[in-house]
Amino acid sequence: MVELDLYTSVLFGIIDPSETSVLNWYTLNNVKYFVIQKFDSTDSQKITSGLNVPTKFIFSKNGNIIINGQKLISNGIAYTNPFTKSSGLPDTGTLHYNVTEYQNIYKYNSNNIISINLLWILNKDTTGIWRILYNPIHAKDFGLYYMDRYNNAGTNKANGLPGPSTSVTTPSINFQTQLTSYANSLIMIGEDGIKFYLDPTINMMTLKNAQYSYIFNNNIANRNETTLNNVANVLKTLGTFCYCPTKGIMPYIVGNNLTNPDSFILKMLTNLKPSITQCDVPMTFNSLTCSTIIASAHDTDTSGSKISNNCNINSDSSGGTSSGTTATAAPADDLSGGTSSGGTSSGTTAPADDSSGGTSSGTTATAIEQPNNKKTLIIGLIIVFFIIFLIILFFLIK
């Protein structure tokens, strides 16, 4: 039997960090992460300034910081992550490259950055101090624990996750509950006011989230369940929902560029293969279809998504959004299918260290102006009737 490692046990709240010999823990939105490095105010200022030029800022797979082609100099020496001194991986991949290569999927903000392999988190607290945190969820140890639990779960499993153990002698974690807590700790707010997951693979931890990422081709955390389900009902008539290798979050995962080979998410998707439809179904949109989608989900943010781009309604002459949608603050996603009651945590305000217990700000997303959906639907119907009229006129003339 594979035991759950110390770092994940503390992150999941199974072990109190005060009961361990490890002292360096940091509370990020109510979840405790192990601190690899806490920088002083001088080094922190270097990091903050370096972020102003994302084309020359690297937070690498090794958890190292490269600014203007040079490793961060801390206390007179080049800082190297002690966990990866002999990894052999190059310190490559600027923030600009990552965001461009995985547009709408890989995201960061001025206070929170995650490495491309999802193992390291660079976080700035409210005093301007930066820390490098260890993310054990995508580490080899948790991947081994997940597979051991999955292989020994028998029929007690669903959607790629093992169910909670019913044995008194071998109690185990509830994957859905614990991953929900992890997901909520990494809900951040982008510079545009829209919430996203710092770890984009959270979008693949349930079928529903995977479907939404396929629909919107975007990493969005502030979802309104009712309106998104309305969109889903409309789109079900247009194409098949599935884990598509070339859509949504999947290219981010299967490309092996952002998640490492040891990550449990790759193992989870492998276990899901019998129930996964490998597809790449094109969805054809016309003015009526787009009007129907907007009318069904008028308060769901789709700006910048595949739908709004295909509908050609995501911008107006003033440069603002006119997608017929509104960003609505919603409860944080519950990976078990419901929603958590604690509000949504903001990535722009980092909590204090252990002594404070962490904070959760509940900040709402910026609203986008909502136009008249009824008028848009009427215009779509007029276009359809006009086309029918032209067809009838053609045959009459003929």
Comparing 221 with 54, which gets the higher pLDDT?
A: 54
pLDDT for 391 equals: 79
Residue 258: pLDDT above 60?
no
Within 8 A by CB and 6+ apart from 397, the residues are: none
Where do the structural domains in the chain lie, given as residue ranges?
A: 6-222+240-282+329-356
Report the distance separating Cα 109 and Cα 95, nearest Å: 11
Q: For residue range 154-210, what is the model confidence (pLDDT) as tens digits?
A: 888 887 888 876 555 555 688 988 998 999 999 999 988 889 999 998 888 866 666
According to the per-residue pLDDT averaged within each range, which of 115-119, 157-161, 246-250 is highest? 115-119
Report the distance separating Cα 203 and Cα 223, nearest Å: 12
pLDDT for 393 equals: 74
Q: For residue range 297-326, what is the model confidence (pLDDT) as tens digits?
A: 444 455 545 444 344 333 333 333 333 333
CB 325 within 8 A of CB 311: no
CB 138 within 8 A of CB 265: yes
Residue 373: pLDDT above 50?
yes
Nearest alpha-carbon partner for 145 in 264, 15, 315, 28: 264
Report the distance separating Cα 117 and Cα 359, nearest Å: 27
Q: In which element (H, E) is residue 8 found?
A: helix 6-11
Structure tokens at 192: 């545009």
Structure tokens at 12: 């999941």
Nearest alpha-carbon partner for 91 in 72, 75, 104: 72
Gyration radius of the chain's alpha carbons: 23
Report the sign of the C-alpha dihedral through residues 88, 110, 34, 140, in that order.
Answer: negative
Mean pLDDT of the chain: 73
Average of per-residue pLDDT across 132-143: 96
Nearest alpha-carbon partner for 181 in 346, 7, 333, 378: 333
Residue 387: pLDDT above 70?
yes
- Whether pTM > 0.85 for this model: the answer is no
- Give residue 257's pLDDT band: very low, low, confident or very high (50, 70, 90): low
pLDDT for 33 equals: 97
- Give residue 327's pLDDT band: very low, low, confident or very high (50, 70, 90): very low
Residue 329: pLDDT above 50?
no
Collapsing DSSP to helix, strand or coil, 177 comes out as helix
Residue 2: pLDDT above 80?
yes
- In Å, how far are 75, 116, 251 from 255, measured between CA atoms? 37, 12, 6
- Quick one: residue 202, left, alpha or beta (phi over 0 = left, psi -120 to 50 = alpha)? alpha
